[in-house]
A and B are shown apart, each in its own frame.
Chain A
Amino acid sequence: MNDNAATPKQEHEPGTHPNWPAPILTSGPIAWMRDNLFSSPFNVILTLLALWVLWIIIPPIINWVFIEAIWSATDRKDCWAQMSEPEAGACWAFIQSRLSLFIYGFYPEAERWRVNLCFVMLILFLLPILWDKCPGRKYLLWYCIAFPFIAGWLLIGGFGLTPVPTNEFGGIMLTFIIGVTGIFFSLPIGVALALGRISNMPALSTICVIFIEFIRGVPLIALLFVASTMLNYFLPPGTTFDLLMRVLIMVTLFSAAYIAEVVRGGLQAMPRGQYEAADALGLTYWQSARLIILPQALKISIPGIVNTFIGLYKDTTLVIIIGMLDPLGIGRAALADAEWAGLAREVYLFIAVFFFLCCFGMSRYSLYLEKKLHTGH
């Protein structure tokens, strides 16, 4: 549409032409649609097809999730009785009645404030880490290092609180514990392993290679199984080494091995000149690692690292194999309650949304971080 045929008469003196908006057909939503949705007959067909599919799918979903949904009921029958026909809508009343179970697992009711406190502390922990303009960030970072330990003590019952055995942990809280601990500890361990692997001390690098390859060669589920059952055969009889602790160690080591490989990729992707420049400046190994190598290598590795974290986070559901009840396990046990049974869709959707929000959040943040740190070479 650039071809405005022959301009008729000159309406404005040269230099006095007002700034008109671009023609409606070349800018704004219509132009966008023309360019992106209806640019060729084939695209027109695809667009219409897609619209039709959405039209078929979306209204029933919205209807089920929101419009026909029931938010309070005493049991499944009551829930269904309130709908136009059974199962016409979601029975969120079920989730609501189990919400505390989904969040706290079997944590004693009187002590749940400790979990809530930990959730608040978790936000305080994430703030300075994720937001680099956070006021008082320098001091808060010290808090961040201490956080996992404080939270652990609080949950288990240090500080003279009533002890709560870890086998009463469950639900979302358990997912967070495993996820945060795994992420928190596996990054430094992974970086250390990566540095170790490319180090020119043969003994060190061999150990790191063996460790990394061993862990990467075994599925997490096998490691968890070892953690829960085999370890008891190796340790002296009668030993009770907290199961959650064992799981945390296994999960951390597992994701550390993956992080190590991701970071090694970053280290190797850096131009040799950077290493040489660091040496030429006379920096010691640790100085060059801290000031030159790692900042750049980690930046390159962000997508891979976050990818590993997301994987780790989702893998936390595997703990059900060893009898720990993450939200999925809680859901299963709740679904067997004859009063409510049959509402599997609600339960699984709820859990899916929870995991989606967490993982989507992580991946968005990683995109933001990449953009922010992108300085180009």
Chain B
Amino acid sequence: MKFKPTLILSAATLALGITSGAQAGTLEDVQKRGSLNCVVSTGVPGFAYTDESGEWHGFDVDFCRATAAAVLGDAKKIKAVTSTGKTRFTLLNSAEGDVLWRNTTITFSRDVGVKLRFHGVNYYDGQGFLVSKDLGVNSAKELDGASVCIQTGTTTELNLADYFFANGMKYEAVPIETNDEGRQNYLAGRCDVYTTDASGLAATRSTFTDPANHIILPEIISKEPLGPATRHGDDQWSDIVTWVYYATVTAEEKGVTQANVDEMKSSKDPEILRLLGVEGNQGEELGLPADWAYQIIKQVGNYGEIFDRNIGPNTPIGLERGLNALWTEGGLQYSPPFR
């Protein structure tokens, strides 16, 4: 019995030794650590993925970077904590992550039951169905008896059950953990249909050899407002995440881009001046440097730029702005004023 006590002892000392005892707010924790931990997905094309050098990219990751730019002044100082549909909230609630940017739908039970704070909708989505053209199906109503690949622990799992029940149809669920697994199963013919957020479907389809042979059915069966989340109990941190998102939207609305943000500092529009920290003390009120939003735009870009770079029409994902256009252009992206 020589080894066990020593191991447990050393574990205990380690546990106690590293205990700071500080119950600092998330902001202080992040600043002390010097990096921001974001809960992201295990990999969805266009939303979160790694490149050759191991850098994370994607729509979700860029918002994580925007948060880091605001809080730490450096968009590079992020750490991605990957999570499946089932583990994401536990990872957030157990403080493995500071903020969750992971195509996550805002729902009542997650907001209230799981005790999360949501901070606006950075992507308006809805659940769709991806099928092979060979199946000869043109509408979701014809899917009676189909086998459906469905990610466990997601809203889409529940929507699917509701939809098929409401339409008096049967299906065979093929449960999967990650998007990649769904893709493999679908391509291997393990399921006739892959269902998840339409954005995810488009992203996944873009990786097929023959994307043209697969269609996304016209029915969108749910509302999937995707947005960032944080834990309960840290209002300052919640405000920061909320306004990081709004800053990207306001910047787009006001025409502030990565390229012209320096010129915009001498703009005549008082709201731009407040946004960029030239006037007023909004940064200070958030507990951030005055140029927090300037850093976001400078290092990451405004909402439109983030969208176009990762998932827009000129990327392999090729999503249209649709509902995610600015409200001034008929979409739903709308930021409260910076006042």
Question: In this complex, what residue of B is CB-closest to A190?
Answer: B3
Instruction: Name the one of A196, A237, A338 contacting B46, with C-beta atoms under 8 angstroms.
Output: A338
Instruction: Name the one of A188, A204, A229, A239 contacting B91, with C-beta atoms under 8 angstroms.
Output: A229
A69→B328 CA distance, assembly (Å): 51
A interface secondary structure, majority: helix
Instruction: Name the one of A229, A232, A341 contacting B206, with C-beta atoms under 8 angstroms.
Output: A341
Are A344 and B183 in touch, CB under 8 angstroms?
Answer: yes
Find residues 232-252 in chain B having any chain A CB closer than 8 Å to their own CB.
none
- Smallest CB separation, A251 vs chain B (Å): 12
Instruction: Name the one of A236, A238, A336 contacting B44, with C-beta atoms under 8 angstroms.
Output: A336
Instruction: Name the one of A87, A236, A245 contacting B209, with C-beta atoms under 8 angstroms.
Output: A87
B50 an interface residue at 8 Å Cβ cutoff?
A: yes
A52 an interface residue at 8 Å Cβ cutoff?
A: no
Give the size of the chain B interface in residues (CB under 8 angstroms): 61
Contacts of B11 in A (CB 8 A): 245, 249
- Using an 8 Å CB-CB cutoff, how does the interface string of B84-123 with A read, 1 for contact, 0 for none? 1001001101111100000000000000000000000000
Contacts of A321 in B (CB 8 A): 84, 87
Q: How many A-B residue pairs have CB under 8 A?
A: 156
A228 an interface residue at 8 Å Cβ cutoff?
A: yes
- Smallest CB separation, B191 vs chain A (Å): 16
Are A337 and B4 in touch, CB under 8 angstroms?
Answer: no
- Using an 8 Å CB-CB cutoff, how does the interface string of B1-32 with A read, 1 for contact, 0 for none? 11110010001001100111111100000000
Contacts of B58 in A (CB 8 A): 336
**At the interface with chain B, which of A8-16, A324-332, A353-361?**
A324-332
Contacts of B53 in A (CB 8 A): 101, 109
Instruction: Name the one of B1, B37, B43 contacting A196, with C-beta atoms under 8 angstroms.
Output: B1
Instruction: Name the one of A105, A196, A341 contacting B54, with C-beta atoms under 8 angstroms.
Output: A105
Instruction: Name the one of A229, A325, A334 contacting B49, with C-beta atoms under 8 angstroms.
Output: A334
A66→B44 CA distance, assembly (Å): 30
Contacts of B47 in A (CB 8 A): 336
- Smallest CB separation, B77 vs chain A (Å): 12
Interface residues of A (CB under 8 A from B): 80, 86-87, 97-98, 100-101, 105-106, 109, 165, 167-168, 185, 188-189, 192-193, 195-196, 204, 225, 228-230, 232-233, 235-243, 245, 249, 252, 320-323, 325, 329-330, 332-339, 341-342, 344
